[in-house]
Structure 1
């Protein structure tokens, strides 16, 4: 049994457990509802990109940032540890498969699930926009869709890494929930606490230093926004972040940060899984 077989098995398991179907239906409902919102903020009615397309992206911005990580964690937080609880992990490893193949096969399989769900849901939204909007930029929306898939893959990596590293589903669930809270709620709080600890209530006249702004960019959700801005420059009209002169604050750095976040949890999870005693 090879890596491709692990991927295929995991994807087929998601079909049998209705994970693929339920996630896809969720994305269809989510994207369809947002596609029906055609309010166009004044700030970018004269944009070079089709205003209706930007209106749709504006509607999807915050729900995407919060919803994709949640679905990614739910889909993959127990993808490996569940096999151990059921007693099927030893069988999976004895076919034979290396532990590396199991970890990365599970990651790719679950990424396939969220990819199919996003593509189906966003395709439905695109068709609705194409039929009902006065105009619609298919290319821009396609880029945003692919970037959303990348964003989802990052959180699948987080969850898979936790599933490989933890000793129980409860630990994996708590760890995934803690990370979700940190990235989506706690990061800004930590930045505020750090700012108050260093500068108090008096921000320097020149503004916060570039290194401080970079800490904000390290959040994968913020990195996703910067990556979108790098590919869709007009997206800057609906997102605002402090400007800096350092190269590491450029929008393209968002891709680097997402790549690091997608790799690090998998590597750490695998290293812990490789040393684990499988019962």
Structure 2
């Protein structure tokens, strides 16, 4: 039987630690500055500056988030367990009336809350400053973007916790976390693109969209871009990704599955 009170205690401690060291404030400021800069200069390559549309802003923010949030999440969570082990506090924690599952969920929940607060505060403040230029439909897309950014952060926090459980020390955990970032953010898409080019476009026309769904960063990109027709055409997704797989509930469910699976592996290894 899972004791929610135990999970809350661990989560609250993790969250307070991030607030105390001003981590949440720093990340919120970074997100706000980037969001405002992108909203104003996002169309600079077309020779224009100033806020143009929420579609252009979200498209630029999606590219930023795919690189930034996974890296922040992995740095935030890579030493969640292995750090306690190296400090000698893990045995003390496990000697208390708390199970390994409760400890993992508490760590993950506290870190997720800190990252979610930073994401909402940063992008939310930028959204408030742009509110006068955004209609209700655009506001709906922007809120969806913030929610999906939080889910993406939770996916990579889950991967970070898994790495932290499996690693023997913090040095190896940090190396593995960087490797995970490179794999999902850089290498995976380059590999798919290379296979597509080498096959002359004939590489698994039906398989290619499914392979995109095996990368949480690609799911995040599709979730935000496929909801807006202009961006879908601009990015060329309409020609390579079927509409049947673009249902927001399906994509959101896959993001949740990406959160659950690494935590399940982490719990199995932790036991």
Pairwise same-fold verdict (TM > 0.5): yes
Q: Which residue number in structure 2 is paired with residue 225 of structure 1? A: 221
1:54 aligns with 2:50: no
Q: Which residue number in structure 2 is paired with residue 277 of structure 1? A: none
Residues of 2 paired with 1:101 and 1:125: CA distance?
36
Residues of 2 paired with 1:134 and 1:108: CA distance?
32
In structure 2, list runs of 5 or more residues that go unmatched. none
CA contact (8 A) 2:55 2:228 kept: no
Give CA deviations for 1:71-119 in whole Å, capped at 9, x if unaligned: 1111111122111111222222223211101111111111111100011
Residues of 1 paired with 2:134 and 2:188: CA distance?
39
- When structure 1 is superposed on structure 2, of 30-39 and 4-13 the one drifting more is 30-39
SS in 2 for 1:36: helix
Residues of 2 paired with 1:244 and 1:74: CA distance?
32
1:114 aligns with 2:118: no
Instruction: Note the C-alpha offset of 1:39.
Output: 3.4
In structure 1, list runs of 5 or more residues that go unmatched. 43-49, 275-279
Give CA deviations for 1:139-178 in whole Å, capped at 9, x if unaligned: 2211211111111111111111111222211121111111
SS in 2 for 1:79: coil
Q: How does 1:1-279 map to 2 (within 5 A)?
A: 2-37=6-41, 39=43, 52-131=53-132, 133=133, 137-192=138-193, 194-195=195-196, 200-204=198-202, 208-229=204-225, 235-241=231-237, 242-243=239-240, 247=244, 249-252=245-248, 253-274=250-271
Query: How does the TM-score come out when normalised to structure 1?
Result: 0.82
CA contact (8 A) 2:151 2:256 kept: no
CA contact (8 A) 1:58 1:238 kept: no
Instruction: Note the C-alpha offset of 1:51.
Output: 6.1
Residues of 1 paired with 2:232 and 2:95: CA distance?
51
Q: 1:31 to 1:52 in 2, by over 3 A?
A: same
Residues of 2 paired with 1:222 and 1:34: CA distance?
21
CA contact (8 A) 1:32 1:121 kept: no
Instruction: Note the C-alpha offset of 1:25.
Output: 2.3
Q: Which runs of 4+ in 1 moved over 6 A?
A: none
Residues of 2 paired with 1:262 and 1:181: CA distance?
18
Residues of 2 paired with 1:128 and 1:238: CA distance?
27
SS in 1 for 2:41: coil
Instruction: Note the C-alpha offset of 1:243.
Output: 3.0
What is the RMSD computed on CA atoms of the aligned residues?
Answer: 2.7
Q: 1:189 to 1:140 in 2, by over 3 A?
A: closer
Residues of 2 paired with 1:163 and 1:225: CA distance?
27
CA contact (8 A) 2:27 2:122 kept: no
Q: 1:227 to 1:240 in 2, by over 3 A?
A: same
Residues of 2 paired with 1:220 and 1:146: CA distance?
14
Give CA deviations for 1:202-239 in whole Å, capped at 9, x if unaligned: 444xx742113321332111111222246555542443
Residues of 2 paired with 1:245 and 1:237: CA distance?
13
